[in-house]
Copies of this chain bind each other. A is one copy, B any other.
Amino acid sequence: MESIKDKVAIVGMGCTRFGERWDVGNEDLMVEACYEAFEDAGLESKDIQAAWLGVQMGSTGQPLAGAIKTEYVPITRVENACASGTEAVRNACYAVAAGIQEIVLAVGVEKMSDSGMGRPDSEVTPGAPPPSQFALTANRYFYDYGLSYDEGRKILAKIATKNRHNGTLNPKAYFQGEITVDDVLNAPMAAYPLGLYDCCSVSDGAAAAIITTPERARRLRDDYVLCKGFGLAVGAGQGQLRDYYDFTHFDETVNAARMAYEAAGIKNPREELDVAEVHDCCTIAELVVYEDMGWSQKGKAKTDIESGFFNLEGGLPVNPDGGLVSFGHPIGASGIRMIYEIYKQLQGKAGSRQVKNPRIGLTHNLGGSPGSFTSAVTIWGCRD
């Protein structure tokens, strides 16, 4: 079989300001994101031949049809927990790569201020909220790699301050203020050892991408961005089935990354990637991602964090837009918000948070819970 590499391109993107958007509903958020994308691409709603909508709390593609007033266009709702937005993009790309549609739209949206996280649903166990799940990872990681709680919490705090700093350079981020390592350490505890600033917030937002063939992209703009690869891995509950589950790394991320690297032809990700957006729902999640992605050696992320390797001016800037820690996490929107940042970075249009000459960038999502995560990875590159 073939890879998706260079078969589809993004020619326009939009992203709302994230945060407590009490003033607007889901449809307004989609309008805001889609019309920025239309304008960016020089296209209109009527040019859209098919669409995919990533949203966790919703039903059918109809709200998107209503928002952008399509006339009987195919719209598919996809949902894969925290990877829902990314899944909208992936499925949209397949349709274009198959030659079925030429110009398609992927939209991610979620409005959580009204509803909080999750909903009454017989299929979903109430279970432990995300911070308490990731607290298991943090405690185990500290134990396995000989970090005292103080040492470990300081390492994690550096991730929080990095992302919040990046967020101050981004007018679309929810939280705008700088925070210090001491702020993180002294914040109210969420789930030991994770404090308030180690965890992302619920939030409202939407993001949109217009996807087409490279041929059509060339006629629309010079700085289109090419798809290089996708990876998606869903755990089958192996965590519960096996005697030992290693809470300090996630096979779903490892496998999703492997697929995406393979598709993109990436052999040495630490060297070859120029910028990345990863799923920092908790700071420990971001740390573990460094290792699962093959950017830091197992147990050694500390060294790279301390050297600033993942800072804006480091070797591989991670979450230059501020990440979930600055944006909050409107479930369906986050995946496309990440791709929006990579798109802008690759175009050199990321303003004061611009990374130096990036040519290839990655996004990563992680949803669900230990043993049955869903992890999605996407890789994008500049045209040659």
Contacts and interface: CB of A to CB of B under 8 A. Distances in A.
Give the number of times this chain occurs in the complex, counting copies.
Answer: 2
A255 to B, nearest CB: 4
A119 interface: yes
Given A60-B368, A91-B94, A72 B122 contact: no
A381 B115 CA distance: 46
A62 interface: yes
A71 B69 CA distance: 41
Interface stretch (A30-38, A99-107, A201-209, A293-301): A99-107
B81 A78 contact: no
A94 B87 contact: no
B120 A60 contact: no
Interface in A39-77: 50, 56-63, 65-66, 69-77
Interface string A1-31: 1111001000000000000000000100000
Contacts of A70: 234, 236
Nearest to A57: B123
A288 interface: no
Nearest to A51: B234
A374 B251 contact: no
B98 A4 contact: yes
Nearest to A68: B236
Given A61-B80, A75-B234, A78-B78, A1 B121 contact: no
Contacts of A122: 57, 114-115, 119
Contact of A65 (B62, B94, B101, B236): B236
Contact of A123 (B63, B71, B87): B63
Interface residues of A, number: 66
A80 B77 contact: yes
Given A69-B236, A100-B1, A235-B65, A60 B76 contact: no
A100 B236 CA distance: 22
Given A80-B61, A252-B72, A66 B236 contact: yes
Listed residue (A2, A76, A259) with the most chain B CB atoms within 10 angstroms of its CB: A76
A179 interface: no
A251 B73 CA distance: 11
Nearest to A114: B122
Contacts of A256: 72
Contacts of A76: 78, 80, 87, 90-91, 232
Given A61-B80, A65-B237, 10 more contacts: A57-B121, A59-B123, A60-B79, A60-B367, A65-B235, A72-B236, A94-B98, A98-B98, A98-B99, A114-B122
When A and B form their complex, which 10 residue pairs have the shortest distance between CB atoms, in order from nearest?
A74-B232, A97-B98, A65-B236, A72-B255, A72-B233, A98-B98, A2-B99, A75-B234, A94-B94, A65-B234
